[in-house]
Amino acid sequence: MVTQTTKTMDDLFNEVRFILNDTQAPYRYSDERMVYHYNTALREIYRLRPDLYISFTNAILSANLVNTYSTSDLQIIDGEANPTPPNPATPFPLDDRLAYGPCVLYVAGRTEIEDDEFADNNRAMILMQQLKAQLQGEGG
């Protein structure tokens, strides 16, 4: 049986933490910094592919806003249950078939590049460049 589930912010952060080898609390990278990079990634996606923010529902064409998120939109914050989580989990705001993977890689790259002690700058830059490459068809 096939089921469809929408990716969430928590899913994205879990994947980013896996890429960064930061899966055990206490985390090396805070959710607050990752949310900051997530918001930047969504704006980069808008800059590169504004068409992903257009929806067509019930014969009505509309443009979606580029939302700004905070840690309060997460179910789990830095390894602990959010005392006032959104209900249900905050969904990834775009078509996850197109933008989710590039967003994961961009957030991982931006997060890693901030940490000079652990960062391999070449790897971080490659991760960040994948956003553009995958959204514009150069490597997706």
Q: Give Cα 128 to chain centroid, integer Å.
A: 12
Does residue 31 belong to any structural domain of this protein?
yes
Q: What angle do CA 85, 36, 99 make, to 5 degrees?
A: 85
Mean pLDDT over 33-57 rounds to 94
Maximum distance among all Cα pairs of the chain, rounded to whole angstroms: 52
Does residue 140 belong to any structural domain of this protein?
no
Does residue 24 belong to any structural domain of this protein?
yes
- pLDDT confidence tier of residue 140, bands split at 50, 70 and 90: very low
Cα separations (Å) of 109 from 46, 87, 103, 119? 18, 29, 10, 9
Does residue 81 belong to any structural domain of this protein?
yes
Structural domain range at position 94: 9-135
Q: Which of 33-37, 73-77, 88-92, 119-123 has the lowest mean pLDDT?
A: 119-123
pLDDT in the model for residue 1: 67
CA atoms of 14 and 81, how far apart (whole Å)? 14
Residue carrying the six token digits 């896996």: 18
Average pLDDT of every residue of the chain = 87
Q: What's the distance, Cα to Cα, between the start and end of the chain in Å?
A: 28
Does residue 3 belong to any structural domain of this protein?
no
The number of domains in the chain is 1
Does residue 4 belong to any structural domain of this protein?
no
3 state SS of 74? coil
pTM for this one? 0.86
Query: Residues 103-134: pLDDT tens digits?
Result: 999 999 999 888 755 555 687 778 888 888 88
Does residue 51 belong to any structural domain of this protein?
yes
Long-range contacts of residues 10-15, Cβ cutoff 8 Å, at least 24 apart: 10/74, 10/75, 10/76, 10/89, 10/90, 11/92, 12/38, 12/92, 12/100, 12/103, 12/104, 12/107, 13/38, 13/74, 13/107, 15/104
Does residue 97 belong to any structural domain of this protein?
yes
